[in-house]
Structure 1
């Protein structure tokens, strides 16, 4: 995305106080990009407060809105993973609060190469090697405008324009594998050699993207439930491409190539239903000719509404448009309405008779995990008035529905 395109909208810019992000902040200002500065102080190293002061001083000098977060890590586990999650959650909240188009991040050409090398070392067949220039994290657009700049160029930019910055001392050690790659393997490459490697990786990514698009013309990775029959019409290479894209869409890091091969073998045997533990909270489940990535935890939810609001939850969303089997006409005497997950004896009175939910789930071959999360709309008298995909009861059907409840 070019600077003139960025200047058409408002953005959150993530700024740590290092030379990369300070260069990005200054480039945004010089190109008249409207930004809000977001800084996260983990207090994880002695110079953390110094870096925050550098960022605050720059923003104060140029009247740039500044927000900071001081997250506290309350559990054990990987610090880097926790820090990234806290950082992007903060950026996402700010983007909504400030009505911003998305978030700008200062990752650069060296970051691109380091990430690609780490991906290759892991043995995973990644859809994209390196870093995307534009993507989404937690539903928010993330743009990386500096992927054509090297780290050295960004530091030289700051020095030339007399922009203060701090050096993160943790980047100077070889404690992390990324630092080892940066200090040794990448340090031996000239700038021309780095750019040549990036061109090769981008050509590879372009080729994989074309193959992915061909697969997605047959199956949509955004669908949570996949037809086993249609999946098995793909070639073996296409099957692996699809599974990786589908798992990423479902919020799961794809497993190793060997795991995918064994999974495909199991799907080809078509010996009825099976499930495979995937992570501590997800499992791969094949049932009734379909497969899905299910949650292992039990689910119970209940939303009570005094009036109709358009909003989304992890289980359903209320919208102005949808399919006829998602529509319901509501009356004042129905409120407050409740939207909850199913109960064992739930049934709905339709025009052609009473339909028990459990029977419908079985007939439609809905996986057990999906059954537990299916929304049921109940009025204040305890009557089930809508089950999405089944339809509404007789009294709440009309050609002018109030809203649509979408699974």
Structure 2
């Protein structure tokens, strides 16, 4: 009898660590005669016996004629500047994405069980986490990869019994016993007898969450333009939780939620608080290689390197190629030609500086930008050109 159900006509990647849960799942898949499987194993070399885990997976795959993709990591963990578990998860899932593209398989099976679901929920409660779903969802998305967790109804105790009965080899991760990790501490103190009550609580909370999500979806779907989110009074008057969920949904829709994947709670709270209380027409929050920017009544996300301030002095015609650094380069070159090429000129998108140093149409550029409500996105992406002598901006700012 099948321990869990999947569509056996689909192709799957199978995440296999060598531990009891993933070896149980892989063994069941073999028994189901699922034909198109690619096993994915990551050896972090984090423990002294990591090679043993890899050997167990290799031998099982060889015995059952299964395709195996391995990622063997050589890393000095004393130099790791982030939480190991978060780093390992990102490394693992990015590897799955890579293998997915190689084999053209969109589904990856993860061996989370009922115990993992309950432990995750209790961890969320303890951390007061902002979550999209309480516990674990049967399916989720990571960078277009479909994550499938078919074993959420199976208890850990059932898995261990089955492995023993069928003599399936598996590795034991000694770090799972280390109670300095919060999840391990919860696991050590938890009894499976309590699961029915906890699972019922999870269902109730997820039902409430679904109602909130419908309201969030309505706001986002009605207040998006291209990849930008419109900020209006309705959003600003909402509670912080609603605003946080709205930001996450927006990032999810533009397929950039990975930007905040490992720092979601703190970062989204900071953005939400700024939306609710800040009266500034412009602010910027940097997140890794990206920036989230409030631009009047719009919120947009952009790679920080794209909007880095750049300034060039154009001393002669031979320097005009430097204008090509900006998307409005032709406008800049034409403005110089209209000015009879009276070098030197300055080309820059450093609006925080040039707005104080230059003049536009007879007034201070700062005043002009305010009066015309020139979007900050345009100020960052498009450059201005001005005479180094007169400080007069020559191109039209719009």
Normalising by structure 2, we get a TM-score of 0.70
Q: Match for residue 196 of structure 1?
A: 197
TM-fit CA distance, 1:87:
1.1
Q: Match for residue 255 of structure 1?
A: 265
Q: Match for residue 343 of structure 1?
A: 327
User: Do the aligned partners of 2:5 and 2:150 also contact (CA within 8 Å) in 1?
Assistant: no
TM-fit CA distance, 1:101:
2.8
TM-fit CA distance, 1:22:
0.3
Q: 1:39-82, CA deviations, whole angstroms, 9 ceiling, x for partnerless residues? A: 11111112211111111111111111112110223652222222
Distance 1:169 1:272 in 2: 52
User: 1:270-349 counterparts in 2 under 5 A?
Assistant: 271-277=279-285, 279-298=287-306, 342-347=326-331
SS at match of 2:232: helix
**Residue 89 and residue 250 in structure 1: after superposition, are their counterparts in 2 closer, same or farther (change >3 A)?**
closer
The answer to whether residue 370 in structure 2 is matched with residue 368 in structure 1 is: no
TM-fit CA distance, 1:266:
2.4
Distance 1:82 1:68 in 2: 18
User: Do the aligned partners of 2:21 and 2:112 also contact (CA within 8 Å) in 1?
Assistant: yes
Distance 1:99 1:32 in 2: 20
User: Do the aligned partners of 1:13 and 1:36 also contact (CA within 8 Å) in 2?
Assistant: yes
Q: Match for residue 51 of structure 1?
A: 53
**Residue 370 and residue 206 in structure 1: after superposition, are their counterparts in 2 closer, same or farther (change >3 A)?**
farther
TM-fit CA distance, 1:344:
4.3
TM-fit CA distance, 1:345:
2.6
Q: Match for residue 71 of structure 2?
A: 69
The answer to whether residue 273 in structure 2 is matched with residue 265 in structure 1 is: no
Distance 2:378 2:109 in 1: 37
Distance 2:274 2:307 in 1: 26
Q: Match for residue 88 of structure 1?
A: 93
Distance 1:367 1:131 in 2: 40
TM-fit CA distance, 1:343:
3.2
The answer to whether residue 20 in structure 2 is matched with residue 19 in structure 1 is: yes
SS at match of 1:12: strand
Q: 1:72-115, CA deviations, whole angstroms, 9 ceiling, x for partnerless residues? A: 23652222222212211111111111121311010111111222
The answer to whether residue 116 in structure 2 is matched with residue 115 in structure 1 is: no
How many residue pairs match? The answer is: 319
User: 1:115-134 counterparts in 2 under 5 A?
Assistant: 115-134=120-139
Q: Match for residue 365 of structure 2?
A: none
Q: Match for residue 359 of structure 2?
A: none
**Residue 281 and residue 93 in structure 1: after superposition, are their counterparts in 2 closer, same or farther (change >3 A)?**
closer
Distance 1:255 1:278 in 2: 15
Which structure shows the higher helix fraction?
2
The answer to whether residue 144 in structure 2 is matched with residue 143 in structure 1 is: no
Runs of 4+ in structure 1 over 6 Å off = 362-365
**Residue 15 and residue 5 in structure 1: after superposition, are their counterparts in 2 closer, same or farther (change >3 A)?**
closer
The answer to whether residue 64 in structure 2 is matched with residue 41 in structure 1 is: no
User: Do the aligned partners of 1:51 and 1:166 also contact (CA within 8 Å) in 2?
Assistant: yes
User: Do the aligned partners of 2:286 and 2:292 also contact (CA within 8 Å) in 1?
Assistant: yes
Q: Match for residue 175 of structure 1?
A: 180
**Residue 67 and residue 239 in structure 1: after superposition, are their counterparts in 2 closer, same or farther (change >3 A)?**
closer
Q: Match for residue 213 of structure 1?
A: 214
**Residue 265 and residue 101 in structure 1: after superposition, are their counterparts in 2 closer, same or farther (change >3 A)?**
closer
Normalising by structure 1, we get a TM-score of 0.68
Q: Match for residue 303 of structure 1?
A: none
Q: Match for residue 345 of structure 2?
A: none
Q: 1:199-223, CA deviations, whole angstroms, 9 ceiling, x for partnerless residues? A: 2212211321232123212323986
The answer to whether residue 246 in structure 2 is matched with residue 242 in structure 1 is: yes
5+ long unaligned stretches in structure 2? 309-323, 333-348, 350-369, 383-398
5+ long unaligned stretches in structure 1? 301-339, 349-357, 374-407
**Residue 364 and residue 86 in structure 1: after superposition, are their counterparts in 2 closer, same or farther (change >3 A)?**
farther
**Residue 235 and residue 165 in structure 1: after superposition, are their counterparts in 2 closer, same or farther (change >3 A)?**
same
TM-fit CA distance, 1:117:
1.8
